[in-house]
Structures are given as C-alpha cells and as structure tokens.
Structure 1
C-alpha cells in the first residue's frame, strides 16, 4: 500500500512538472502559433514584442482583512526569469482606472511613472569593488504615484520604493524587509505596493489549451514559476464609489492601461502618450477579439466600445466559441451572445432583460446611475460580502464574490471563461468538460494581508 502511494505521488509530481512545462510553452509561443493561442500574458502581437508595457493580469476584490477597502492589483512584464532584474519603462504611464458611473469613463485614475535610480543595474552586478553597498543600492527604480480625479492631479507618492528582484541570499540576504519597505501608506487611507512578485496566475492546463488551441491536455492545475512586476493598491471604498457613497453606489468598473510617450497619437492617450496596452476582464482580448484587431483593441478606451464597431459585435458573436465547441464536441449557444454581453460589457442585472437573471455587478445597481454604456471593464460590486468559503469557480458555483464579480487571486478565471464561452451560467453549457476535483500545484502561495502577492521566485 505504501509503495503504491509513493508511486502515485511520483506520478502526480511528474504530471505536474510536465503540465508546468506545457503551460509555460503554451503561453510563450503566444501569437506565433495561430489565432486562438495568445494568453493575457501576451494578448496581442504588439505586446508579445514589447514586454515592458504588457499587462498580464488584473485583480479587484474587497480586502478580506480590511473590508472597508478594495484591493486592485495590475501585473506587468510577464515571464520574468528568477534572479534577473527587470524594469518598468521610464517613458510610460502605467495606470489603473475606475469607472463608477457606468459610462466607460474613468472617474478616478491612479498613475505610476518611473525613473531609473543611478545606474540601471545594482552595484553587485557591476562587481564594483565586490561591494553590494546598502540595501538601497539594489533598487533600480523609483516611482511617482498620481491620482487624477475631477480634472485635478494629486501626487500621492513621490520617490517611491520599487521592490527589486530577489537576487538570492548572497545579494539580498533579507529580502522580506525589502517587500515591507515597498508597502506604503497613502494619504487619506489605503496602501500601495510596487515591485517584483511571484506570478499569482494559475489555471487548469486542459482549460488553457482548450480555450486557446482547441486541444486537450493532462488536467492538472499549475502555476507559472516566474515573476511579474506588480502595481497594487488598497483603497477605501468611499474613494472609489460614486459620490463617495459605497452603500448607495457599490459598483465600480476597473481596467489597467500602459501608454508610452509618442509623437504618433493614433490611439487613445493624452499629454503626448499613446495607449498600447489595455486589460479589464481576463482573456477578453485573446478570446473574444479577432487576432487582427487585438492591437487596435489595446489602443481603445471603454467609453468608445459601444460605438467603435469592434467590441460589441465581437462579444455577441465570438469566433473562438465555435472553435472550442467543435474541438470539444459540445454545442455552443447561438449568436447573438447576450449572456457574454452581460458578463463583459454591462454587468449582471435582470433590469437589462438579459438571459442571466442575477443582480450582481451592473452599474445600474448604483442608486445615482440611470443609464449605462456597453464597455469592457472588470466590474466589482463592493457590497458583496466576503465569502467565508471562497470557491475558485466563482459565480458558477454560487460564490457571488468570485469572478466575474471582480477577480480574486484564487479564482480559476481560465476555466470560468471557458465554461462561460460555452453557455454558463445563462444555460446548461458544458460544466463537466473540465475536471473540478483534480489536484492543484500552485508554485507559491499568496499571503493573507496586503499586498497578498507571494515573494518573488528565486532560482535557488
């Protein structure tokens, strides 16, 4: 019995390692394979070639240990090799936007700008007299955090500390102290963290490959054993809510963008900056938007989605739904996909007479909102109670706090998006397509306090 158990554990370990390799290779190949292959880590041809402005994942959820606040995490620069320094672009604006009116326009924007601090690599890499110097010498960059609201700009953080890559015990002997130093209090309440973290993304490999390639793989949940550069905020709900009243107006929409300084402003942008990356709902660009239009989507703002002739028609009749349904040998719901329009563009409420009869996260639930626009945003109802027993499948398992009502770090968004593409929760869909009881191999666990992200992955 014991020998059999050991063999079983070994088999799962081997399978998990193979699945990590498959997931990593799958995502790394990205747009180079074919139309359905890119992931949120590289969701379009231009961001595939430009890692610094590539948004990998966006999270928004009520902070479990401080429930009068919302935590928003925007991750950039995917697939960072352990113990190799990476930098934010010093000629870019990295922004988190919050829409509390349902118009697709940002009511408040948080903007990070970065500058190099002294030389672009730490002193220990330069081997200057074989001295690492003080811990501050390991910091490659500093940042300024600005809040844009009501036509005014307010600096919240000046010369902020960017947590560097964990370069190992010799170079960074007390790395947790650097993480703590990178967490700062904000004026008026809240916190910010900026720096390197272990990539919290994970998914079922079967779901990943089916959603993007139309292929089946061994069903093990795996993480990405690499790092990302994170922008994390913990903000009082009153700061985000319409008219400052989170009880009366609890629903917000969130998205993140990166814009680079440019003289060619064919896309959206301001002050000489052109938007090149956009992320709201996970998987939206690479699954809903046709490949040839994904770069254009990344230049658009949500307030133009309804009239732009791309986002709404792509949502109502996504090409990928037919690809997945054919390969999985299941039925796809017929177009127009009003269920997907609810999920991604309007939020869920019976007031819109859509097929999903759930008062969940539409801006129409806000007392002071009478009409909304169709706009792709990650919508969060801040009044939804924190789940005592959160389920990674969110609304598909009755956990109303889970995705697509915001997104927590534990949500299996690829599986949820796959199942929604095939018709849930509006209809029967194909709930048995992805195994729910398979073991999860997460590379590093998240923490129970802000910024929740795990410390960076190291090579040793």
Structure 2
C-alpha cells in the first residue's frame, strides 16, 4: 500500500523543488491562513464549529480491505488535524469518538465502536508547550489512555479495551525516546479477533493543489501534488469482515457503509446527540460537507446522522443540485452537468448499483447488493464492497482510473480523493466530464510514506 512515484523524476527535479516550495506556501495559505477563510485538505476544518473545536474535528476517514489480511477490513478516522511540532495534542476527555457501520442501507448503525479518553502521566513543562495554541488545556498531560466499547442495537454495551495505551505526540528524543516502541505498544489485539490503534500519526493526506483550489474555491493553481507535513490523532480498527457484514456473512452481504462522529458533553453548541453529549462532527465521504453542503448548513450537517438524510431536507437537495458545481465547472473549462445530479446521488447517497434507475451502470458498492437487503434509504456514507479483490497496483484515481477497489468503493490511503471528487463533480463517471482537469503524470509529493501493515500510518514527524 505504499504510494508510488513517477519514474521520470530525474528530468523534473528542478521544477519539483519549486513545486514543493509552492506547495508549502499553499499549505500555509489555503489550509491554515485566514485570507480566504480556513480551507481544508478533504475535511480538515469543514465547518465553523469544527474550526473552533480542533479536538473533535474529523479530518479524514478511510475504509479498505487490509492488503496483507484480506479477510479483514481496516477503518481509520483521523482527528485533531494540523498539529505543529513539539506541541502535545490530545483527544478530548469530554468527548466520544465513534466509528459507525451500516450493513442494511438504512443509514442506521448496525455496530458502533466508541472511544473515550482519560489523561495520565506528568504535566507538560512550559518550555515544551512554548507559547503557541495547542488543542488541550494549558496543563495537558503527555499521555492518555482509552476505553473502547462496542454498541449494537438491542444488545448490552461491550467493553473491548479498558485503559488502552494511546501513542502520544512525538515530542522528540528527549521527551518521547524510542518512539517506534510507543507505536508498537499502541497496537492492541481485540477480543474475538482484530486490532486497534489509537494515537498520533503523520497525516497521510495528499492531493493536487490545482484540484484543491478548483474544488474548494473555483480558483486556478498549478498542478502541484503535496502532502500535509503535520500530524493527526488517529483511531483505527482492523476487523474480521464477518464482524461487520449483515448476518455475519460477508459472502452474501459484502457491502457496508461507514462514517465517524465526535460528540462532546453539552456546551450549548449546535449539535445533536443522546444524553448530555452533543454531536459536533460527522464524516463519511471526503469533501462532502465542504463541497456539497451549503456553507450555512455545514454545522447542522455535522450534528446529524445518515438515518435522517432521506427526509431531512438538506442532504438530498444539496446532492442533487450542488451550488459548487456551478462555480467550478466554467472555471475548469467544463460544462455543468444537468440537474438533478442523479450521478452524485449514487456516488454519495446510495452506492453504485444497476438495481436502481441511476446513470452509472455498475454493481459496485450499494447495500442493495447484499442478499438480505431489499430496500435502502438515501444516506451519506462511505460505502465499501468487502468482496472486491485487493488491487495489486492501486490506481490513485480509484474507480475513475479503472480500479474498482478504489474510491468511491471505500477509500484507501493511496487514493487522490480531491482530484476524484473534482472530476466527479464535473460529471464523471456518468458522463464525459473533464478527465484531464489535473495532469495525471505529475509525481506525488509525500511527507512520509505509509507502511505495509496495520495501522499503515507513518510515525508522527518532528518537523523542527
């Protein structure tokens, strides 16, 4: 699952150097700077409340068949994006972080995995904290532990891990020596099979900055691919497919839908949830909230669950007639696809299948492909067909590149989802769209390569 690089790099070394420098400027300006309001790398800071609440900001969600263990699925949810070096960043001890799986197509979770956290260890010295803003309170602690529980409708809550180890921020060799050992300590076995990882990792996001600028702002920019040279906090699971499939039968019912949420104990902020918790973050498909949902509704979307999308009056209309398509298409030299956008409805809300009257004629990743499902609701989820064979040489453009295991059939760490989302907004694969909107031959620039085994994420970097 390593990212690949262009074999013709030597002849382009000089412009790559310029490109990397430009990318660094773009990262600082677009992703972090206030000039055009904070931008995102997929869903890093997708709505006002998550911008103000970094600890519960869902940055990216991945779901794919584990390459080295194809009887399992790996799901990774990254939170707390844009972590600067030598600063401690933690999960919120007053929040619940959850990964949900829907195997019926109702938009309701058949199983939920919930992380809660507590602090431990020694206070971080002021000379380590320095003066910059950090995610937690001033007296944050270096280390945390977590409890992982599993929730199924109609069944008692099950504790899978109690006082599990959280890999902390890499503070450098003086504060966190032998960091590789800390990573290994944070990969734990689950009862009944599977693994869990919880902790800090290098942000695996990468993309083409031309695609970022077009998709988000409708603005031109050179074809320069780059990663985000910062860290994130990750919650990751590697689970047997039988654990996730309807009826525990992945051969008959291979399609699941996945999303992640974070809810904090009530603070009066916009959101929804049970008891004294308010949901403030939701992420399924990358770029969905910040590209498809209108600006004024993004906090509202983050407070909802997929089960309410069909009749909520927000998700379905926004998908069928996305405002951003009208901005992006003329500036990309493309023709705006006609509305209603039934192609986007398939991609985001139902999955691709010939069993509905949609324009994309492919049985790929709809829960209607499950033997024991007869009907589904429109719900925004990241859908994965667990029966799709692992691709030996993954294509960075996934399904648009002829690779049926790639996004939007789940999402791998090697999928260039910003370019894919841009091309789908412009009409692919239902129509011709604008496949050359981004130069496919440009090399990918990565801050750190991913690994070949769970949790696949690179060790968190120390930038300075």
SS in 2 for 1:440: coil
Partner of 1:146: 149
Partner of 1:131: none
Distance 2:41 2:397 in 1: 22
1:49 counterpart (52, 74, 89)? 52
Partner of 1:134: none
Q: CA RMSD in A?
A: 2.1
**Structure 1 position 123, deviation (Å):** 10
2:2 equivalent to 1:16 = no
SS in 2 for 1:234: strand
2:119 counterpart (108, 116, 119)? 116
Partner of 1:68: 71
Partner of 2:313: 309
Tell me, yes or no, if the aligned pair for 1:55 and 1:77 is still in contact at 8 Å.
Answer: yes
Q: 1:188 to 1:6 in 2, by over 3 A?
A: closer
TM-score, normalisation: structure 2: 0.92
The farther-off stretch of 145-154 and 266-275 is 266-275
Q: 1:187 to 1:318 in 2, by over 3 A?
A: same
The farther-off stretch of 257-266 and 346-355 is 257-266
2:168 equivalent to 1:167 = no
Q: Deviations over 1:350-376 (max 9, x none)?
A: 110100000000000000000000000
Distance 1:307 1:109 in 2: 23
Distance 2:11 2:19 in 1: 12
Partner of 1:457: 461
2:104 counterpart (101, 104, 108)? 101
Partner of 1:292: 296
SS in 2 for 1:333: coil
Q: Deviations over 1:154-213 (max 9, x none)?
A: 001100101011111222231100000000000000000000000000000110011111
Tell me, yes or no, if the aligned pair for 1:35 and 1:290 is still in contact at 8 Å.
Answer: no
Partner of 2:221: 217
TM-score, normalisation: structure 1: 0.93
Partner of 1:400: 404
Q: 1:112 to 1:36 in 2, by over 3 A?
A: closer
Tell me, yes or no, if the aligned pair for 1:35 and 1:291 is still in contact at 8 Å.
Answer: no
Q: 1:123 to 1:144 in 2, by over 3 A?
A: farther
Distance 2:297 2:238 in 1: 33
Distance 1:153 1:434 in 2: 47
Distance 1:218 1:267 in 2: 38
SS in 2 for 1:87: coil
1:40 counterpart (37, 43, 49)? 43
- The answer for unaligned runs of 5 or more in structure 1 is 127-136
2:337 equivalent to 1:324 = no
How many residues matched?
A: 446
Q: 1:114 to 1:123 in 2, by over 3 A?
A: farther
Distance 1:214 1:434 in 2: 14
Distance 2:303 2:233 in 1: 21
2:237 equivalent to 1:230 = no
SS in 2 for 1:184: strand
Q: 1:98 to 1:432 in 2, by over 3 A?
A: same
- Where does 1:320-399 land on structure 2 (aligned, <5 Å)? 320-399=324-403
Tell me, yes or no, if the aligned pair for 1:290 and 1:319 is still in contact at 8 Å.
Answer: yes
**Structure 1 position 82, deviation (Å):** 1.7
2:283 counterpart (270, 279, 285)? 279
Q: 1:76 to 1:36 in 2, by over 3 A?
A: closer
The farther-off stretch of 115-124 and 239-248 is 115-124
Q: 1:37 to 1:320 in 2, by over 3 A?
A: farther
Distance 1:42 1:15 in 2: 24
SS in 2 for 1:155: strand
Partner of 2:442: 438
